[in-house]
Amino acid sequence: MSPALAVAAVMSWVPPVVLTVVRLAWADAPVRVPVHWSGAGVVDGWGSTASAFWSMLVPGVAGALICSVLSITLASDATMLQAAATIGIISASTGSIAAVWLTMVLSAAGSTGALLPVLAAVIWGALVFVVCLLRRRPTG
């Protein structure tokens, strides 16, 4: 396996790990968080912080696991661009899902930059894509 793909696989675990660390460190997180917004951007649905956390963590972990498996299987079966795009897109999308919990909690706390964690996860997925492109072409 390429070292670049191994690094990308490890990088795909960052969003769910960050989410877990923030959840453990944020002792006074709001009990209720917004879970749905209307088309006008008004909160019209609320849920518990704990259930929202698990609802966002599970896809984040699943995506990281998929990226880890794909980094092994795509090492020889796909072109560099295909492998990088696949791992980068999965990392960005499932990392963004995990980051939505932070957006929910920040919204409940009244923060104006509540969507920044989701943007950060998308940028992180783009970085995973770039790292995947650094892998060496198979010889032979």
Name the residue ranges covered by the structural domains of the chain: 1-20+55-140
* pLDDT tens digits for range 2-46: 788 889 999 999 999 999 999 999 888 889 998 887 878 788 889
pLDDT, position 10 = 93
Q: Over the stretch 96-111, which tens digit does the pLDDT of each residue have?
A: 999 999 989 998 888 8
Separation of alpha carbons 122 and 125, rounded Å: 5
- pLDDT number for residue 107: 87
pLDDT score at 139:
56
SS3 letters across the chain: CCHHHHHHHHHCCHHHHHHHHHHHHCCCCCCEEEEEECCCCCEEEEEEHHHHHHHHHHHHHHHHHHHHHHHHHHHHHCCHHHHHHHHHHHHHHHHHHHHHHHHHHHHHCCCCCCCHHHHHHHHHHHHHHHHHHCCCCCCC
pLDDT band at 47 (very low <50, low <70, confident <90, very high): very high
User: What pLDDT is attached to residue 116?
Assistant: 93
Q: How confident is the model at residue 51 (pLDDT cuts 50, 70, 90)?
A: very high
Read off the pLDDT of residues 123-135 as tens digits, 9 standing for 90 and up: 999 999 999 888 7
